[in-house]
Amino acid sequence: MVRLMDIAAATRPLDWRPDFPAIPEGWAYLDSAATAQKPKPVIEAITKAYAETYATVHRGVYQRSADMTLAFEASRRRVASFINAARPEEIVFVRGATEGINLVAQSWGRDNLKPGDRVLLSALEHHSNIVPWQLAGAGVDVVPLTEDHCIDLDAMAAMIRPEHKLVALGHVSNVLGSKLDAKRAADIAHSVGAKLLLDGCQAVPRMPVDVQDLDCDFYVFSGHKLYGPTGIGVLWARYDLLDAMPPWQGGGAMIDRVTFAKTTYAPPPARFEPGTPHVVGVIGLHAAIDYVAALGLDAIAAHEAALVAEAREALRGLNSVRLFGPEDSAGIVSFAVEGVHPHDVGTILDEAQVAIRAGHHCAQPLMDYLGVDATARASFGVYNGRADIEALARGIERVTRIFG
């Protein structure tokens, strides 16, 4: 067994794991980049909302509906404060980051992308930040990566042109954990008048996010990666942009006045929230934000950084293991075992009660860029500790023994 290094106190067992009832003793859950486990306060908030306080929002005249409406809009304000939005009306509730990016592509893109206009992406983007722009009919250009698998902003500065109307980049890579210098990316994008959209799915659970300080124009994230429920996410955009964007889906709640001849629309954010919303999902998201805020995002970032350092050190000591991504990746370590398909790695690890992700991680262009079909990925959450890394290393040693 490779000897694990003795590093910062942040890797010592913390008292966060007991908050997560779905993680049994002895199970190493290392797939938080796909979806995070849920702490008791989130589960309790969802249970209470369904069992005690449930009602529709915005249109009911009875007291419970009014109370739930107040809670729903309080959640919007909580999200706004969490990412330092200028005003709550800049927060649009969507099903997840995927829907948020599609909303921007089909609404803002429909009004602003003309023939000959282009969108600038990077080689590490998730499919959800590639396919919507193709569906919108935009020409796509791709920023390469540096040697340590970060978005190459020097290359981006050299290749950006006035035809690029929007730059859409991952704030943290879901495969590599590499962190974007978002403020510099914003400066480069704005130098030619382009807007900047950031995919923050992997960033918001792992580091403080201040959209005003980042100087981006759009920011999206999903609740289920932030220890919240599935089916709820957030699109943030500057209010002047939202106010100029047309609706992309029609229905109840997003209207001002409907006739068979003409419909007028509500102001943002209601314009982009048609139909009955995921009320309980919004309540659960509020509880999740309160939970991570109480732990402290700086503490979470330090904890996961120490786990990444220890995991990379452990895996580097094993024969036939190739590591991807930068040394200071944010909570994510991707790797390959020479001669073993990542699915086989994942299956053998599962036999040892170690749960990782194996595959292309919805980033097939990145796999092509790296010259592999797939990778294995261990990703950390607040509930992980040294014992999980030891279990991972033991499991990979077994993989190498089995496959020789």
Q: What residues does each domain of the chain span?
A: 9-30+296-402, 42-294
In contact, 321 and 396? CB cutoff 8 Å: yes
Report the C-alpha gap between 383 and 392 in whole angstroms: 15
In one-letter notation, the amino acid at residue 31 is D
Question: Quick one: average pLDDT of 334-338?
Answer: 97
Q: How sure is the predictor about 321, in pLDDT bands with cuts at 50, 70 and 90?
A: very high
Catalytic residues: 362
In contact, 345 and 318? CB cutoff 8 Å: no
Give per-residue pLDDT as tens, 223-245. Answer: 999 999 999 999 999 999 999 99
pLDDT at position 119 over 50: yes
Strand partners, 233: 94, 222
pTM, two decimals, is 0.95
Give per-residue pLDDT as tens, 242-286. Answer: 999 999 999 999 999 999 999 999 999 999 999 999 999 999 999
**Cα-atom radius of gyration of the chain, to the nearest Å?**
22
CATH number listed for the domain at residues 42-294: 3.40.640.10
- Please check whether the domain covering 9-30+296-402 is classified as CATH 3.90.1150.10: yes
Residue in 235, 159, 244, 167 with CA at minimum distance from that of residue 204: 235
Q: How distant, in Å, are the alpha carbons of 173, 274, 292, 295, 346 from that of 207?
A: 13, 31, 10, 12, 28
Report the C-alpha gap between 11 and 1 in whole angstroms: 19
Does 9-30+296-402 match 42-294 in CATH topology? Answer: no
Q: Is 373 exposed, middle or buried (0-12, 13-18, 19+ CB in 10 A)?
A: middle
Sheet of 321-324, strands arranged across: 321-324, 332-337, 375-379, 357-359
Lowest mean pLDDT among 13-17, 28-32, 115-119, 378-382: 13-17
Give per-residue pLDDT as tens, 149-207. Answer: 999 999 999 999 999 999 999 999 999 999 999 999 999 999 999 999 999 999 999 99
Structure-token pair, residue 11: 């890797």
pLDDT of residue 319: 83
